[in-house]
Structure formats: structure tokens, C-alpha cells
Structure 1
């Protein structure tokens, strides 16, 4: 990993400072007591002390006065530390320059004491403050620390001035070179420990503030070395240069505190705001702009054109066909990979000015700005759709997908952002319902959608108003001709629209989620009817009830069925639950659900068998009792050899698996004779009876059983 600019600057500045320091030390060692321009150097030293005091006050201001509502340990302690160091630096400079403060004279011993104490405090304080983790501090803690430090510092300085003559001369006048070297080594080692501790703490990332503090410590070490070289008056030049090295170090601390208290928090806040803005306007999974960003982008396009000269703009909504089935069969991880791949392919096919958005779940959108003719826009949108490669590799397995698109155009179809998006969404759902890949929005779609919304609202009230009722289609044994069961079928007597066929409201109930309460009502009502007929003395028969996909996915389905059977008082063996092949895509979930239902004692059949995607390998392990041959095969069984072969294969397979077989849609004697020849167990269809109300089933069929 290369050296960053900030790290390079730290190395260069530290190296230059070290070179100058070594040169001055060597010069001082060879110059003896020579003093050149003593007054000028004395003035420079005093100015250095004053500048240190000023910079220290600036550090105090940045670290303590600013951001008082978000004061942290590093800011507070660095402010307190450098407020003391500034005073000590000024007192040391005044003492070495021979200036009296308030009539008090600072002798050599006291001046050196200020020097040693300030650097001990600085080295230890910087080590503790910047090499440990930061944390927020309370207002009470802030006041306590600053007040306590101020009192201790004031008392210490007054005591030093008062008892300076009692300070140990041998220790502080550095006549003994060994004592001097021990003190220097100890303080320099403390500085070095601080540098390495900060480097270790920030070994993964080197923030700008940490590198700036390291520069400050390097110049403090060099400045202290020069100051000690100039004691006791060996070299005024070394002493002055050391004082200015301390000024430089204080400047770096000021800069570091600035980065810590102002720059880095500001940059961090901006980064957080930028990330939040990105998350607010982009999809987490695909990284594409989301619906909110789409509305803003489309709105800017429409307003920029103006109302006088509207420029046609197309909004296309693209839907992945059968995405829910893919999620159910392959898992959500595979579904996520599919969404990302489709998003990438759409983005790669867009021309300049076109933009792809993720609207949510399995829907994408593309905005086409600017073509002059409607036909151009339609052609371009359809061209984009058919250009998407349908072959997608997921987990080393190749799958083929299909897409549907709905298109709305400004200003022909709508003049607002919400209208254009809404109408394109209507169009794509219309395309899916009619097995088309591309449809342009028309006004008729809006009326149809409004009608569906009204019907959905009516459906929510229909259960409360008892508008639903059941009809039953009897099932007969092909061997004996006796009625052996019945299938419950829901009907809706709409107060305004009259009797509605199931195809008009069952898909709507599935989409809206109303199929769950409706399905529970059907199950309970069918069980109640069957139990009543038994209590009335009719021969018991089994009633079949269809389960919807949403019902089948309920984790507590078995508990709900059991509760209904207990409430009604119906024996479980007189209830058969019908599932479809598509419900067994997720074989593990399906197996657990079916086993839970089977433990109740109910019968289980697979409805419309042959039209789905069951694996014969899994079929043998499912706890089922019956296969129901779909009416589409029975209808053409006498005309189409393939249908006849399919029916024959299903019945043969069922016998080998010890399953019963029921043929649906039996309408003619020829079909009946063929099914008998295939040893089909039971049949249901218009040849025997159409679905009839409960009272008709009772009077025309159950009564015959009794007779």
C-alpha cells in the first residue's frame, strides 16, 4: 500500500526538523559559551513564549469553548492541558529572558523547573489523551476537571515562585551531565511512547488528526532536545530554536484539534448525510435509483420542457413474470440474484438519456426522454424489452425468464408524474393478465382497474354481509355409481352485479390477501354443512375443500383446521383438503405442512394434476391420498391421443403408488367408459351433476343415499 500525502508530509517535515535540530546541536557543542546577538535571540525566545501562550489559548478555545454540547474526553483534556502548557511556556520564556512578572523574578532553577514540568505534563498528557479511545463527557465532568486543574495549577505555580530558592540546585541547574541526560532520556522516551501508541491505535486507518498529532510530538521531542542542549546557557541559539520548535509543535496540535473537533466531525457528518441521501434514493439490492428518485427525475423532465412545447416522454414499467414462483421454488437468495442480473442487463441496454429504476419487488422502470413521434417511443420501448437476454445463470444452473412491459406516454396518456407511473403500471399488469409481453396504456384499462378496486372493496364487506354461499358438486364411484363425496365451491351473490363466477373474484382475492379469510369461511361452512347432514341422519360422506397458496403457506394452518373441526364437531376423516402442484415447489416446507395436516386425520388430494411441475421423485414421499386429473385432459380424451395417454399414465401411476384417482370434467358417456377402462376410481362433472346449492344436494343426492 502506497504512502498517502498526509503521511508523506509527516515524514518530510519530521526529517527536516530533525536535520535542523542535529545541525544546531552540533554547532552548539562546538561553540562553547559563544553568544552572538544575545539581545535579538533573547527577544526571539520571549516572542516564542508569547506565541506558545497564544496558540495554547487557541487550542483551548477550539477544544473546549467550541462544541460545548458535544464535548469529548480528547477535546476537554487537550484544552485543559494546553491552557497549562501555554502558561508554563510563557513563564519559562520570561524567566530565561530575565523579565520580572508582577515584581517576581524567575531564577534559573525555577525556569528550568517550568521547562521540565511542562514537558513531563505534555508527554504524559498527549500519551494518555490521544492513545486511548475517545468518549463523550458530561457538563458536570467538564466543570469539575477544568476547575480542579485550574486550582491545582495556580497553587503549584504560586508555590514554585514562593519556594524557588528551596528547589534542588544540583538537580535543576544541570551541573551534573548524568542527571541532565537521565531527565532528557526519560521525557523523550515518554514522547516516543506516545508516538508509537497513537500509531498502533490507528494502525488500520491513519486519520489526518492522528498524523498531525504525531508531527506535534516529533517537534516537541526535537524542541525539548534543543532546549536541554542550551541549558545552562551553553547555546542561546539552541535554546531559542528549541522554543520555536515548541511553537511549531503547538501549531500542529492546534491543527490536529481542528481536524478532530471541526474538520473530521464535519466531514463525517457530510459522509453520513451523503450515505443517507444515497440510501433514500437508491435500492439496497440492485443499487439502482428507486421510485422516489424516479419521481423527482421524471418531474424535472416534465417541468423543464414547459407546457407550451411538451416533449414526449415515455415511462415503461417492466415486470418479471412468475417471480413469486421463482422465489418459492429456488429461494430468496436466487430471487435476489435474478433481480440484480435483470437490473444490470436493463442498464446495459439503455441509450443516452434513458434511465433505469427499481420500483420495488419484481418491478423495474425505464424512462425514455425526447422522441418526437409516439410510434418511435413505442418501438424503442419494445426493442429494449426484446433485447434482454432471457437466459440467466444462477448458482451454476441456467434459467430462462420472461418480462412484461407496460408503457405510458406524456402528454398523450397523462400530464403528471403520478399519472404516468400509475398508467404504466396498469398497462404491465394488463399485459400479464392477457399473456402479452408489451402493451401501451389505454383509457379502458383505467376503467377496468377502477372496477377491480371497487370489487375488492365490496369483497371486504361481503363476508360480513353473508353475500358468499357454497355450492357442492357431487363425486361418484365409477364402479358402483354411488355418490361418495362432494367438492365445496364458493359463489358470490353481489348485491349490484348479481351472481359472479369464481374467475371474477378468486384471482382478486388472491392478489389482495382476502383469500385467507374467505378460505377459512369456506372451510368452516363446508364442515358445518357436512356435520349438519350427518346429524340429520344422512349417510356420512367426505367433503373436499380447496386450499389457496396463501392459506397453505400459513405456519399454523394445521392448528386452524383442527380448531374448526373441533368447533364444528366433524370427524377429520370426512374432510379432504385439495392442494395444487405449485404448492409443492418448496418440497421441504410442503412436506412439513402436509404431514401436520395428515396427523389430524384429514385426507389430502392434489388438484388439477398434470398441469403443474411436480417431481415424481417427490410425489412418492408426499403424504397424499388422491390425484385429481385436470378437466383439460378429460375434455379431449376421446379426440386427442396424447390426452388419452396422459390420463392412462396418471391412473396407472396412481395405482402403483396406492393412490385414488378422481377425474374432473366428465361430461359424456364415452369419457365415462374410457375412464372406467383405465380403472379410474371416481368422477365428477356435468355428466353426474353441475354444482348445486346445499339444499339441492341434500334433497337430490343425500336423500338417495339414505334410501
Structure 2
């Protein structure tokens, strides 16, 4: 509203001037006799000359201004306005010289010539402006055309001089001495008034295009109309109305001058200033964008490096770099999308800013890594205390729409000058330590020299992993699961392997965490699902009995927005009955119960079975067992391996078996390597087992070729235990 008032303040000023003018007219109209010949009859010629000189100056200024601006504006209307006012200026000169009482000019001065020059000037101005407004604006190309248009006023004034000063008067008189204006003069002035009324109508219809210019032109038209009315009703040259007519005429030309000046000079200049301001703001914005992260608005890596170059060596003493990352951020981004990830980053950034002292520089190195520069690091205990405070600040989860996300931090620390002298190395070493911090319980780690080679190797593996699917380097092996009641192999677990072209077989324990951190687990998980389901159909076509395949789902996959549709599409495309697919989740995935409950129920509705892998190794509440549609619990191999020697593990296995029985869940025990382990599980009524005692994970062709033998061996082992 303030901007609107500021923009149209000239409207209020114009209305005020019109009100003042009306008041003056009312005063003069009421006391016109008192003001008659107020300046003295001998002075009116001088006063008239002064008024005419001012009018000539204004009209000539408009003409010169238009002439000077047309090479840059290149508008035909601007050119015509300049020529029009140059014509009016010449006519006003002739009118002033011909005015009664002026010295000899061609002939003796008379009201005849002066009045005709005045009337022709008024008609030329009114009709000319009206004609220019009716023209379509076009650009002018040739400079010769500009000279031609500006030469026409000379021909016009010469023609008028010849017409008015002809030896025998051609035109009738407009003013009769002792009587006043004739009907012809009054009629011609009314024609000028009508022209300006039409001009005002045209202006009002276009007022939204250029409000200020239009209002100035409207004011000019109003003043010209007032001057014409005064010139039609004045008694003689000594009448105050005649003087006021010249005042309003001068005021009208002044407003015209302001309109032309504003449109050709002031307005373009203001637009230039606005453009410069906009450009300056754009430069400031670009500079801000160049030195700040778009999502968090924190200083970015460029800002950090320049600050380190200025401040790292300024004072002596120990300094430190903290590198902070949000645990599993890549999985969150891959699962929920960039929008949720950006909101989480923004909220984490704000909480870090609120938790850190202002003297420390907080910046964003890349999408999931924050850097803190401590220009005073008195002791490692002080640094550790600060890191723990930051971790505590992140304990409260971040609520983003219907998701409750954790912002747990892994923090790496490098010290200056202990670890490095250069700013790039300090930051890089802190990042190395940050990656390794996820492996320790405290999630805080100081940089050590050995980390460099480990991180380099990890980054190389991550880069190679990006191409593993396209290069057909991934493969699946299948470990049979034996039904302890029948000795049959009714199901298998699909286990992904990576055949690296140079390093050979790489353990899943090495590349799966890398895949989860980088988000590559999403395409790998889909490939595993498609390949495993396709393999089950191939075994079926090869004549094997129906086999269920168990496939592990990652946390990233479960947070995919289209996970249910993707699995349904795979089943339909391969034409696999959903009962032959088992999806396995881990306890660590059950933290977000609301989201998991919805997804698992949707998956269950497809007809697949749901299993909890590595049961008993997580930290989740067991309440999810009643909330989730779970069909099976898998006892982790770490419990089974110590079942004979560790009473605690034995008690845990007994508890899992008992709990599964009461909840009517199936149980699969992993890692069976010895007969004694199998015997204990049989006594506990475990239903299904897998492990090296029966078979190691096999290539699909090997499992197909040896299926009968594997099943026969399993039955023999079970029969020996029953004897």
C-alpha cells in the first residue's frame, strides 16, 4: 500500500493544483472589476511580451529536447511532437512581434495579425497533438527523415507570414477594437477546446499504460481549455482574464514540457537506475549464491576455504575442523526424495546454529556434510565436550509432515597443526574421520593417518559399485533352507555377491554398507528382487518343486514411494505367485513404526510373506511384533553358533522359539554348522534352518543340478538324529 501511495503521489499533487486554480478563477471572476488594469495600462505590452517569451522558451525547449532524444528513442511520435512544438514556437514569436503596441514588424502591429497568429497556433497545437495521439507508433530509420520533419515548421511559418501579411487581407478580423472578440474567434477557440476534450478522452482510456505522463498531459489539456475559455470571455487586453489566460497557457506548456521530459529523459533514466539497482541486487544475490548453500543458507565450501586462508595462520595456537554428517542421509534422500532430504538438512542446520557459539564458523561442504571451524581448540576434552553437545541437540527427532526422522551425527575431527598445515588437508582429514566415526559407539573420532588409505579404497569401491549392475558384475547365490519336519528344501535365501573385475569376490559386509551410504542400494535391491524372482520361475520350468525365495529389503527401499508398486510389477511381469516371495527386514528398520506399518500391510496385501532377519540383534521395542504383519522370525547366526557354550545365547534362542510359538510365527535359524546345534533346535521345535551343515550358498545352476542330492543329504542328517 505504501508503494502504491508513493507511486501515485503526483496524482494528489495534480488535484491540489487544479483546486488552487479553481479557487483563483472564482476569486478573479467575483472581483474581476477590482482587478481591471491592475498592472497599469502602459505596462501590459511588456507583461504580454514577458509571458510570450516564457512560452517561446518552453515550446522551443520541448522541440530541442525531442530533436536531441530522437536518435536514441527512434520514435516517430517523439519526432512529430518536437516538430509540432517548433512550429508553435515560431508562431508564438510571430504573435509576440505582431502584438499591438510592439515595434514595427513587416507592417505596423495590430490586433488582426496578433490574434490570427494566436488562433492558428492554438489550432495547430490542439489538432497536432490529437493527430499524433491517433497515429501508430513506429520506429524511424533514416536520419534524413528527421531533418525533413524538423524543416516543415519553417515552411509553415513562411506560409503563415505570407497569408496574414498579404497586401489585401485574406482572413476576416477576429477582434474588433472597442467591441472585442468576434464569433469566428470564439468558434475557433471552441474547436480547440473540443480537440482537447477528445485528447482527454483518449488519455483517460490509456491511463494505465503510463499514469504519470497521462496525468501531466491531462493537466496540460485542462489548463489549455481554461485559457481558451478565458480568452473567449475577456473584455479587452487590460482585463485580468486576458492575463490569467496567458498564465494558464504558460502553465499548460510547462506541463507539456514536463510530460515530454519525463517520457524521454526522466523515465528512461529512472528505468536505468532501477535496472542498475536490480543488477546490483542480482550481483549481490549471485555473490551470496556463490558463497552460500542454497538449501541451508550456510556458508559453502568456497566461503570456508577463503575464511581458513585468512584466519588459519592469523594467530598461533591449536585449531580444529569438525566434519559432521547425518547418519543414513543418502538412504533417506534416495527413499523419500530430495524435498524431504532438503527439509531435514535445513532443520539440522538451524539446530546446529542454535547449538554452536557464534564465534565458530558453521558451513556446508556438500549436501550431507557440515563443517565447523574452531579457531580456539584448547584441548581434546573441550572438543569432545562440544561434539557431545551437538549430538545431544540432535536426539529429538525431526518431524517432516508424517515422517519422524532422526538426525544422529557422525563427527570427525582434524587438528591444526597436529594433523596438517593446509586448509584443504584439514577439511579432508576431518571428513575421513567422519566416515570412520560410524564404526565406533560414540560416533566421534579424531583423525588418524591410517584412515586416508582406507577412505581412498572405500571411495574407489563406491565408484566401481556405480557400474557393477551395468557391467554384470553382481550375481546371486542361494542358500537352501531345510524344513525340519520333512527334510525338504522348500525355500532359499538370495544372497548378493560382487565379482569385481580386478579384486575378485568382494564380501557383502564390505560393499553393502557402501551401497546404503551412497544410495546405490536402491537399484541393487531392485536388481536382486527381479533376478531372484526370475530364477524361481526358471527352476520351476526346469522341473524343480515350487521353491520360495527370501530377499532382503534395505531401509532405503522401504522408504521408496513406489516400493509396493515396484514389487507388484515385478511379480506380475515374471508371473510369479506372491506366496513364493518372502521379504526380509531387520529390526533397525522398525524405528518408524507408523510408516513401516503402512508399507508392510500394503506388501502383505500383495500375498508375499514378511520375515524379520537377524532377530534379537537390534534395539527396537518388541511391540512391533503385534503391529506388523510378520510371518517369520530369523534367529541370527551369532546366537546359534554359541548355543552349546553360552547359557545366555541358549536362553535367548529358547525365548525366541517360545515367543514365536505363542505368536504363531514361523522360525528360521541361520548359521547351522554342527549337528549339536541342529539337535538343540529340533528339540525346541524350530521349523526351518539354513547353514553350512546342509549347504553353503550356491550358484543357481549348481543348486538346480544338485537339488535332489542336497535334499537327500538333509533327510539323511535328520534321520540320523531321530534314530
CA deviation vs aligned residue, 1:584-626 (integer Å, no higher than 9, x gap) = 946667766776x75xxxx544342755799668744xxx8x4
- Determine whether 1:479 maps to 2:485: yes
2:56 alignment partner, one of 49, 59, 67: 49
CA deviation vs aligned residue, 1:427-462 (integer Å, no higher than 9, x gap) = 333323445443344433322121112223444666
Quote the Cα distance in structure 2 between the aligned partners of 1:463 and 1:697.
23
Match of 1:96 in 2: 95
Quote the Cα distance in structure 2 between the aligned partners of 1:524 and 1:176.
99
- Determine whether 1:344 maps to 2:338: no
1:456 alignment partner, one of 450, 456, 462: 462
Q: CA deviation at 1:489?
A: 1.8
SS at match of 1:443: coil
Quote the Cα distance in structure 2 between the aligned partners of 1:151 and 1:243.
26
Q: CA deviation at 1:700?
A: 6.2
CA deviation vs aligned residue, 1:562-594 (integer Å, no higher than 9, x gap) = 69848xxxx657953534264994666776677
TM-score by length of 1: 0.72
CA deviation vs aligned residue, 1:9-60 (integer Å, no higher than 9, x gap) = 6645763575368547855844446653523541442343233332454356
Match of 1:214 in 2: 215
Match of 1:133 in 2: none
Judge conservation of contact 2:216–2:255 (CA < 8 Å) in 1: no
CA deviation vs aligned residue, 1:295-327 (integer Å, no higher than 9, x gap) = 1x3343344358686786654443333446667
Quote the Cα distance in structure 2 between the aligned partners of 1:411 and 1:56.
75
Match of 2:248 in 1: 242
Judge conservation of contact 2:597–2:627 (CA < 8 Å) in 1: yes
Quote the Cα distance in structure 2 between the aligned partners of 1:149 and 1:559.
81
Judge conservation of contact 1:285–1:340 (CA < 8 Å) in 2: no
CA spacing shift, 1:410–1:306, aligned 2, 3 Å = closer
- Determine whether 1:388 maps to 2:393: yes
Q: CA deviation at 1:502?
A: 1.1
- Determine whether 1:288 maps to 2:297: yes
SS at match of 1:480: coil
Alignment of 1:315-394 (within 5 A): 315-323=321-329, 337-359=343-365, 361-368=367-374, 370-371=375-376, 373=378, 375=380, 378=383, 382=387, 385-386=390-391, 388=393, 390-391=395-396, 392=398
Judge conservation of contact 1:18–1:222 (CA < 8 Å) in 2: no
How large is the Cα RMSD of the aligned pairs? 5.4
Which is worse superposed, 425-434 or 280-289? 280-289
TM-score by length of 2: 0.71
Match of 1:639 in 2: 648
1:254 alignment partner, one of 251, 261, 275: 261
CA spacing shift, 1:94–1:279, aligned 2, 3 Å = same
2:281 alignment partner, one of 264, 274, 283: 274
Which is worse superposed, 148-157 or 421-430? 148-157
CA spacing shift, 1:528–1:358, aligned 2, 3 Å = closer
CA spacing shift, 1:27–1:393, aligned 2, 3 Å = same
- Determine whether 1:506 maps to 2:512: yes
Structure 2 residues without counterparts, runs of 5 or longer: 100-104, 165-169, 176-180, 714-723
CA deviation vs aligned residue, 1:455-480 (integer Å, no higher than 9, x gap) = 23444666687765543321011222
Judge conservation of contact 2:474–2:499 (CA < 8 Å) in 1: yes
SS at match of 2:297: coil
Q: CA deviation at 1:398?
A: 8.0
Judge conservation of contact 2:477–2:697 (CA < 8 Å) in 1: yes
SS at match of 2:222: helix
Quote the Cα distance in structure 2 between the aligned partners of 1:706 and 1:167.
135
- Determine whether 1:627 maps to 2:627: no
Match of 1:225 in 2: 226
Alignment of 1:129-208 (within 5 A): 141-143=139-141, 154=152, 158=156, 161=160, 184=193, 187=196, 190-191=199-200, 194=203, 198=207, 201=208
Q: How many residues align?
A: 660
- Determine whether 1:653 maps to 2:674: no
Match of 1:608 in 2: 613
